[in-house]
Amino acid sequence: MLVPKLRGLPRRRWNDHWRETEKEKGLASTQAMPGAPSPAMLSVAGSDKPANSKTRKAAHILVVDDEAHVRSMIAATLERQGYEVMLASGGREALDALEQDSFELILTDIVMQEGNGLALLESIHDQNPNLPVIMVTAIHDISVAIDSMRRGAYDYLLKPFERDHLVATVQRALEHRQALQESRTYQQNLEQVVRARTEMLRQAMEDLEHSYDVTLEALGDALDLKDSETEGHSKRVTAYTIALARAMSISPAEIKVIARGAFLHDIGKMAIPDEILRKPGKLTAGEQEIMREHCARGYHMLRKIPFLAEAAEIVFTHQEHYDGSGYPSGLIGSAIPVGARIFAVADTLDAITSDRPYRVARSFDAAREEIIRCSGSQFDPAVVEVYLKIPNELWLELRSEITGQNRRFSTFDISHPLGSPKD
């Protein structure tokens, strides 16, 4: 880019300008000023007040200008304000200084004999985009100064400028930088706090969910005590249901609901009189009717508990048949919740392969034949199809893990490795 050749005011004019400023303020020095300004000359009303204490002490400022007397004047003014100032006569020297030291602010001339101020601005922002840069230029190049702000300069100073204007601009830039830093630090701290709190919340939810499941297991154990015939049945049927649901690519969140429904499917039996529940012989029609109430009773027990409300639907429908011949509502096909359709297969699988007082357990092959036979009537053919793809070894393994001493997963562990039983 073409930048018009810019030179600062001649030294004599700068000195005149600054001396005139002193006079206007009634503080002009009586000393001659052959070169760098004397401390007396720099003693401008307002400028001697300490700069903002937040920015004054630590601020390290780099002044870049190829005119020695301009550098010196700026340096003297800023040092008097308590800033630490380093000087550079061009772009190369400035970049060297930036490599070796860190600065809070850069003041740079735009057109210098060695290195362009705009190129320096770009280099600085490439390396440190948050470092404020004030461009110093002559009045007739205001368009270049404005352009430099579009490129990320914080502000510009037009030569000749008054010292208190210089001090005010520098202070504003440093305060801006500090505000940015504080905002960044605040944001970082906030992000850390949010991350930590999110993790705490996640952990608390996990603990809460675990507590729910422990409570459910206790409920299941209570039912086992009342209805010893089904001891272990709830846990096994839950494991089978989870395995089938996973094979059907049902989402983990939904599997959790289904697993709770499967585990608590017979919870309504708590309300069934012992003489019916434990009757060794065949139930009468009236007793059967009472027994069938266990679906609705279980549903009413659970639906009031928020985290079991969805699972209650499975409890209510777990005795429905795919062809509508089940109870309590005679629902047909997809009107039966998918969890209940999956459960139905798992329930029969466990019932056939478990001992009952009136018969011994049959094999998993026998269960397979029975499930195939009832596909489309009692069972959803889609669930049966998935069930048939799973080898009997997996069901055997799940069963032995639940009934054996070496249980390796909890009742509601939905991550049991269905596809890799040797894990």
Part in contact with Fe ion (CB under 5 A); list of ranges 152-160, 260-268, 271-279, 355-363: 260-268
DSSP string, 44-111: -TTTTSPP-HHHHTT-EEEEE-S-HHHHHHHHHHHHHTT-EEEEESSHHHHHHHHHHS--SEEEEESS
Structure tokens at 337: 């919740």
Nearer to Fe ion, 22 or 350 (CB): 350
Q: Collapsing DSSP states into helix, strand and coil, what is residue 243?
A: helix
Measure the CA–CA gap between 379 and 340, rounded to whole angstroms: 10
Nearest 5°: the CA angle 105, 110, 114 is 100
Give the residue closest to Fe ion by C-beta.
266
Least distance CB 294 / Fe ion (angstroms)? 6
Structure tokens at 348: 């029969």
- Name which of residues 365 to 404 contact Fe ion (CB under 5 A): none
DSSP 8-state assignment for residue 109? E
Residue 359: beta bridge partners?
356
Least distance CB 291 / Fe ion (angstroms)? 9
Q: Give phi and psi for 107, each to the nearest 5.
A: -115, 125
Size of residue set near Fe ion by CB under 5 A? 1
Nearer to Fe ion, 6 or 314 (CB): 314
Least distance CB 263 / Fe ion (angstroms)? 12
Nearer to Fe ion, 8 or 298 (CB): 298
Part in contact with Fe ion (CB under 5 A); list of ranges 137-145, 243-251, 265-273, 360-368: 265-273
Least distance CB 319 / Fe ion (angstroms)? 6
Nearer to Fe ion, 144 or 264 (CB): 264
Q: What share of the chain is helix, strand, coil (3-state, %, to 5)?
A: 60, 5, 35
- Name which of residues 266 to 285 contact Fe ion (CB under 5 A): 266
Nearer to Fe ion, 82 or 328 (CB): 328
Part in contact with Fe ion (CB under 5 A); list of ranges 43-51, 264-272, 348-356, 364-372: 264-272
Nearer to Fe ion, 294 or 416 (CB): 294
Nearer to Fe ion, 109 or 266 (CB): 266
Residues 59-98: x where in contact with Fe ion by CB under 5 A, - otherwise, as a string? ----------------------------------------
Nearer to Fe ion, 44 or 277 (CB): 277
- At position 151, the amino acid (one-letter code) is R
Least distance CB 249 / Fe ion (angstroms)? 27
With the C-alpha atoms ordered 217, 221, 226, 227, is the resulting torsion angle positive or negative?
positive
Least distance CB 279 / Fe ion (angstroms)? 16
Least distance CB 265 / Fe ion (angstroms)? 5
Nearer to Fe ion, 61 or 223 (CB): 223
Q: Indicate the helix (H) or strand (E) that contains 133.
A: strand 133-138
- At position 364, the amino acid (one-letter code) is F
Least distance CB 315 / Fe ion (angstroms)? 9
CA 64 to chain CA centroid, nearest Å: 44
Q: Answer yes or no: are the C-beta atoms of 305 and 337 closer than 8 Å.
A: no
Structure tokens at 420: 């890799």
Part in contact with Fe ion (CB under 5 A); list of ranges 35-43, 175-183, 263-271, 382-390: 263-271
Q: Would you tell me how many other CB atoms lie within 10 Å of the CB of residue 378?
A: 20
Part in contact with Fe ion (CB under 5 A); list of ranges 20-28, 54-62, 262-270, 322-330: 262-270
Q: Residue 106, by phi and psi: left (phi above 0), alpha (psi -120 to 50) or beta?
A: beta
With the C-alpha atoms ordered 389, 391, 397, 399, is the resulting torsion angle positive or negative?
positive
CA 332 to chain CA centroid, nearest Å: 43
Least distance CB 406 / Fe ion (angstroms)? 29
Interaction site with Fe ion (CB under 5 A): 266
